[in-house]
Structure 1
């Protein structure tokens, strides 16, 4: 008996469901022509744009249980010439929901909007005209059919949005937007509850990217005043990639611009969540790191932004990081106790009104602490106050942050204090003897830096630069750049059998006052074993020894007392850009001396300087002395292809070709030339210049 009853009940329920489906399927088609005609009429009457679609239909199944009128392959086109894209909307499907019960009363009530697989191209031209401003001013309609807009739901699936405001240089791009919004959109004032999922979001202002390729998930409650075109953001929870924050404030469209007060906060988030915002190129690096620490972060923007630039907002940011650690997963010693306290404020979006305060950036690594603070105001006229004290093991720092594959080692100590103004502007340059852009002011500063037991090995090379040591001290006692003084002592660097060592002391930048001793020995053919020479092939032995002491002041005819010896043996140079034009058999033996630091005792000897360029040899040898009463004894012999030489060593904006053939011997002095004592001057020349 029970089985019979259950069977009849099941048949009844199945029949009822079937009847309901038939009713929902068939009844709408009694109203199909009326509804579709009305939708087309609304579009043509209210949109100042061309609307195209392939097909219109009705369904209760596409967005069950809503009754919808849908259109396939929808295009809304704004053909005004000033816009880059004429397609404002291009969608695989667009639909509106129709209240089923209103049809039975002879009315058409639209209560939902659906958009699927669409591309929205929204653009504002430099004058503030929008390509999406396509709604015609409302006019009394001759159609007596009652139609009401009571939109309470908006659903968008897999839609891309491109927004480009050329009047404010603001851009954003959204890929695969999935959105569901509910609220009484037909009211003058209403709350819009939104659920947002975005696969990828890009945001930039004035060409500067602030967000790139980040997914977004958000729950947003927005109070909307449609009469005033004002939006108030309340109780908003947003997550960009893994970084959570809240967003509140208001945004309003006003005549000629925008009025807003927007605040973004992220409180008690983690450093790992914040670093999820790094560009995609660094995602692999981030995934290999162990990151801990707490952060508080906020961005604030308030004021008016007018298209005529008469008013601009204030933007500020605040970042606090406490007790952070970062470490590569494969090592034990992290960078720890990371603490950052920083603030930035910019008024009128003017970089010259930027104020930045880094009150503290500190961390520990292997019981060694680094502390930095930095304060600045302005940009063109940059006021700086900073102090840096660092003690780092370069190898452990590189390993902890997994920076690159190169092997870097050494103990680095830095102590810097600076306070003052940095300014570049037009002024008279004593060096150039003319008005030019010069550095008018620098901060007073004291820098002490040391590197001990330095080591650098390129990951793609077998050999390393090692035993790198130096002590550097730089001082600016006032704001005048020419008064900078400094010295490098204990300079040493070795690679294979090559070395550079010496010291350098600069007493004053202008007039240039130096005290230096430098010596190097380099087998050029071995450089590629420890340093990448991607476009050059070099060979030969270079020996250099320089000793220089004193002042260089051409106006006062003062020169440092100097002794420099340069020797190159069996040199070879080939640019891989011009493999058929090598410079080979380079041999140079040069000595420059000036014992007293005057032009009179300057002596330059070439014994000789010679090379072969693309098969043509050239040799120069001789001696020149006394810069002010020139005494010379010079011999040249050979051929020089000027065109091929300038291919290897190009002269900017100049193209030269031609061949010089020379066989010259010249001996004499400027004193004899001025006195016309030609008997004391010897000259033998057989030189030709071809096809210059």
Structure 2
């Protein structure tokens, strides 16, 4: 007995070893079979990472698996991925492995597909990316047999965790199935049989930019009868769900060479209005049983006819509801008197003849009644819309009757009576002659918020009347942030803005008491570095605006400026605001502006011309950063300023100029100006170095200068100042960081150099000394708050000494003709005279006189350099 058990155990181990080892022997054959089948049958590039064979996982059958399958198209969809699958597995009897793939078919009994992604596409020329099966007009009997290398005797199959997308560019249709799971079991080999299937997925459906379904859950449990001889598949004992709406199917689908012959009817079996709510997204139907409803809801449909490349089945789908109501348990209000009568029909089989007829869509909330009807034709191409809306809707009640959450409060009373007809192409291309609308709409106490505006807009009242070409804004009163607006005007493409994401075009006249520019800007978000998401807000001109605004405002706030009595024209287009003939009162003067501000790029820019007339210098330079940086010293003045400034550059996130980027030029004129009592560090430094100047008496009237600025700095062209009879020439440059590099040249008469110099001049006592002056240059550096002043006063006094010596020479020369000749002879050394004593005497007198003058000048210079206050009246 023990020996028998031992032998049995050895046999079992041998069998297990064979089951593990045999797949390696057949590995190359399996790979060869898969590659041969692909090459013989598919016109596409197919790649996979591995082909495996196992006798263990599906014993007593063999299991063949393909891992990481990718199918890539050839032209005209070159390099586009048609399908991927993480794993595909087939099971088959072990004996099938011993068949030759080119001699007899291999029978597959089951298959499983995991995590497949399939993208089906039809381009605008009618080409399909899924037509990849090879076909050849010269196909022989042998090739036909090879193309049938597999046959199926399937008992069960499954597709798990997969997704499918179908895109038709010609009709602009998109169908997307996500979280797709499907399984079936039965027998495919018999001529007639049944399979039991289970399917579930989330479906989204969009056509011509209109989203009809958004991630709606669909399930279907169905027994499908198979007639393989006639290729007929019949629905039996089935029920499906769209979200929680139950639908029963009856009918069949027959596969033909040119398409499918469909004959299906469906309806919802319960006929309760609760079924309608079940179509809504899952988030709002989780507690469907708790919702109180009355009335019925019927969905019935017939789909019958040939589905092919040229035709679709005829459609007759009807949705009706009469006098229904619903109320959510935790919400305060009820929707009642609901009437729905809608049909979807096609009687020709031509897809373009499909139309939707909404005969009635009515409801009532409190005392507000809303009625509407519409027809939608040619829905697969250029959809034609004819609609009528008449009713009142309190927007605040939407969240009180339906569990929808808004980012911000939505409120307001909407009243309308409108008839409109148009085609979508006309809306998108602004073909106003094909857009016919008439009626009126009014809004009161409406609050609108969007990511396109930084503050909610509260519209207290708005009245619009519709005509075929335009919408007239008869009255509009609104407030956003701290700004108020009263407006009238015309809008030329309201439907394009509402239905097709077009820009909002119009012309408006706007009046405002207070208008803050920052209240109308949007917030722009960007992603920071190193994968960390942060919110960087920058102001943006809304991209949806294309309008001309003639505006008047009592006060406009821009940055820290309060502009009064503002008027002008603002043109907004393509995220660019152009200012035309804008005037305002500012700093006790007036300001004129033309130019533009653009937020088209990531960094906003500006390019404007400013005309300044009669600005109060103290106010303007203390409150306007731009002027402070162009001429920081000017804020020490009192008086008036006239100027023209041409300036351009970048704006920061607060819409203020980035000083390092600005460039341009300015012409400035100072009127009736004087220096403030508090002279500041610069003038104090100058007075310390030049004690003959009293800057309180500086004449600044009618001073004109020209400035050029770029690269964070200002260059000042030479301009003239006066201090009594001292002419001053100033030029140089400074940076916006207030570092200074200036030269001030003072043309100083000699009499300002003190009493000693005046006595010296008195000794000379000649007309030449009356006009003696010396240039004194002050080099100004450092910064505006910590200036440095260096002068050439010492060298200037030395030059004065030379002038006085020269005058004294001329005075001695003029004492007599002979003395002049003798003096010249002695100086030049090229003449000998007989009157040597006279020459010596003259030379001695000259030397003594020169020495006296030099001594006097040294005394003067010493007094100046010791910075003692001199009496400038001598």
Give me the TM-score of the superposition, normalised by structure 1.
Answer: 0.58
- Whether contact under 8 Å (1:111, 1:153) holds in the other structure is no
- Whether contact under 8 Å (2:271, 2:297) holds in the other structure is yes
- Equivalent residue of 1:81, what SS? coil
- Equivalent residue of 2:297, what SS? strand
Alpha-carbon distance in 2 for matches of 1:570, 1:640: 22
Alpha-carbon distance in 1 for matches of 2:210, 2:166: 14
Alpha-carbon distance in 2 for matches of 1:256, 1:142: 23
Residues 667-686 of structure 1 correspond to what in structure 2 (within 5 A)?
A: none
1:659 lines up with 2:664 in the alignment: yes
Alpha-carbon distance in 2 for matches of 1:604, 1:414: 37
1:179 lines up with 2:183 in the alignment: yes
The higher radius of gyration belongs to 2
Alpha-carbon distance in 2 for matches of 1:302, 1:255: 18
1:619 lines up with 2:622 in the alignment: no
CA shift in 2, pair 1:248/1:284, >3 Å? same
In structure 1, the residue matched to 2:591 is: 609
- Equivalent residue of 1:481, what SS? coil
- Whether contact under 8 Å (1:80, 1:86) holds in the other structure is yes
In structure 2, the residue matched to 1:365 is: 365
Residues 280-319 of structure 1 correspond to what in structure 2 (within 5 A)?
A: 283-287=282-286, 291=291, 292=293, 294-298=296-300, 301-304=303-306, 306-307=308-309, 310-311=310-311, 314=314, 317-319=317-319
Residue among 432, 438, 446 paired with 1:439: 432
Query: By how many angstroms is 1:368 displaced?
Result: 3.2
RMSD: 6.2
Query: By how many angstroms is 1:303 displaced?
Result: 4.5
Query: By how many angstroms is 1:346 displaced?
Result: 5.7
- Equivalent residue of 2:155, what SS? strand
Alpha-carbon distance in 2 for matches of 1:467, 1:336: 29
- Whether contact under 8 Å (2:666, 2:708) holds in the other structure is yes
In structure 1, the residue matched to 2:512 is: 520
CA shift in 2, pair 1:657/1:252, >3 Å? farther
After superposition, the C-alpha distances for 1:527-573 in whole angstroms (9 at most, x for unaligned) are: 58x998964499xxxxxxx9xxxxxxxxxxxxxxxxx9834557314
| Structure with more of its chain in helix, by fraction | 2
Query: By how many angstroms is 1:367 displaced?
Result: 3.6
- Whether contact under 8 Å (1:69, 1:97) holds in the other structure is yes
Alpha-carbon distance in 2 for matches of 1:30, 1:505: 82
CA shift in 2, pair 1:305/1:658, >3 Å? farther
In structure 1, the residue matched to 2:90 is: 94
Query: By how many angstroms is 1:196 displaced?
Result: 1.4
CA shift in 2, pair 1:203/1:219, >3 Å? same
Alpha-carbon distance in 2 for matches of 1:265, 1:347: 20
CA shift in 2, pair 1:275/1:84, >3 Å? farther
- Whether contact under 8 Å (2:238, 2:249) holds in the other structure is yes
CA shift in 2, pair 1:113/1:572, >3 Å? same
Alpha-carbon distance in 1 for matches of 2:20, 2:328: 69
User: Which stretch of structure 1 is more off in the superposition, 330-339 or 383-392?
Assistant: 383-392
Alpha-carbon distance in 2 for matches of 1:570, 1:45: 78
1:115 lines up with 2:112 in the alignment: yes
Alpha-carbon distance in 1 for matches of 2:377, 2:92: 54
Query: By how many angstroms is 1:91 displaced?
Result: 2.0
In structure 2, the residue matched to 1:474 is: 465
- Whether contact under 8 Å (1:88, 1:131) holds in the other structure is no
Query: By how many angstroms is 1:68 displaced?
Result: 1.8
CA shift in 2, pair 1:609/1:305, >3 Å? farther
- Whether contact under 8 Å (2:608, 2:648) holds in the other structure is no
Query: By how many angstroms is 1:226 displaced?
Result: 4.1
After superposition, the C-alpha distances for 1:73-99 in whole angstroms (9 at most, x for unaligned) are: 557676763473486665264322579
In structure 1, the residue matched to 2:198 is: 196
Residue among 643, 667, 677 paired with 1:637: 643
After superposition, the C-alpha distances for 1:43-102 in whole angstroms (9 at most, x for unaligned) are: 67765368885542335xx56xx83211345576767634734866652643225799xx
In structure 2, the residue matched to 1:220 is: 222
Residues 47-86 of structure 1 correspond to what in structure 2 (within 5 A)?
A: 48=40, 54-59=51-56, 67-74=60-67, 81-82=74-75, 84-85=80-81
- Whether contact under 8 Å (1:642, 1:660) holds in the other structure is no
- Whether contact under 8 Å (1:98, 1:111) holds in the other structure is no
In structure 2, the residue matched to 1:414 is: 416
Query: By how many angstroms is 1:113 displaced?
Result: 0.9
In structure 2, the residue matched to 1:682 is: none
Residues 164-563 of structure 1 correspond to what in structure 2 (within 5 A)?
A: 164=166, 172-173=176-177, 175=179, 177-183=181-187, 185-187=188-190, 189-198=191-200, 200=202, 213-226=215-228, 229-255=231-257, 258-268=260-270, 274-275=276-277, 277-278=279-280, 283-287=282-286, 291=291, 292=293, 294-298=296-300, 301-304=303-306, 306-307=308-309, 310-311=310-311, 314=314, 317-327=317-327, 329-345=329-345, 353=353, 355-378=355-378, 386-401=387-402, 402-416=404-418, 418=419, 438-443=431-436, 445-447=438-440, 449-452=441-444, 454=445, 456=447, 468-470=460-462, 472=463, 474=465, 476=467, 481=469, 488=474, 492-493=477-478, 499-500=484-485, 519-522=511-514, 524=516, 527=519, 535-536=538-539
Alpha-carbon distance in 2 for matches of 1:257, 1:686: 86
Query: By how many angstroms is 1:194 displaced?
Result: 2.5
Alpha-carbon distance in 1 for matches of 2:145, 2:464: 87
- Equivalent residue of 2:398, what SS? helix
Specify every segment of 5 or more residues in structure 2 that has no aligned partner in the other structure, as ranges. 97-103, 492-507, 525-536, 542-548, 570-580, 596-605, 615-640, 656-660, 670-703, 711-874
Residues 568-583 of structure 1 correspond to what in structure 2 (within 5 A)?
A: 569=555, 571-573=557-559
After superposition, the C-alpha distances for 1:196-221 in whole angstroms (9 at most, x for unaligned) are: 14355556678876655455432223
CA shift in 2, pair 1:210/1:26, >3 Å? farther
- Equivalent residue of 1:397, what SS? helix
1:566 lines up with 2:548 in the alignment: no
CA shift in 2, pair 1:284/1:660, >3 Å? farther
Query: By how many angstroms is 1:524 displaced?
Result: 2.4
Alpha-carbon distance in 2 for matches of 1:124, 1:518: 50
After superposition, the C-alpha distances for 1:134-164 in whole angstroms (9 at most, x for unaligned) are: 8998759999xxx996725123263535465
CA shift in 2, pair 1:241/1:439, >3 Å? closer
CA shift in 2, pair 1:243/1:39, >3 Å? farther
Alpha-carbon distance in 2 for matches of 1:604, 1:496: 23
- Whether contact under 8 Å (1:425, 1:437) holds in the other structure is yes
Query: By how many angstroms is 1:366 displaced?
Result: 1.6
- Equivalent residue of 1:639, what SS? strand
| Paired residue total | 545
- Whether contact under 8 Å (1:383, 1:422) holds in the other structure is yes
Alpha-carbon distance in 1 for matches of 2:322, 2:206: 29
Give me the TM-score of the superposition, normalised by structure 2.
Answer: 0.48
- Whether contact under 8 Å (2:30, 2:51) holds in the other structure is no
Alpha-carbon distance in 2 for matches of 1:331, 1:204: 31
- Whether contact under 8 Å (1:409, 1:455) holds in the other structure is yes
Alpha-carbon distance in 2 for matches of 1:117, 1:423: 41
CA shift in 2, pair 1:199/1:192, >3 Å? same
- Equivalent residue of 2:397, what SS? helix
In structure 1, the residue matched to 2:817 is: none
Alpha-carbon distance in 2 for matches of 1:211, 1:343: 17
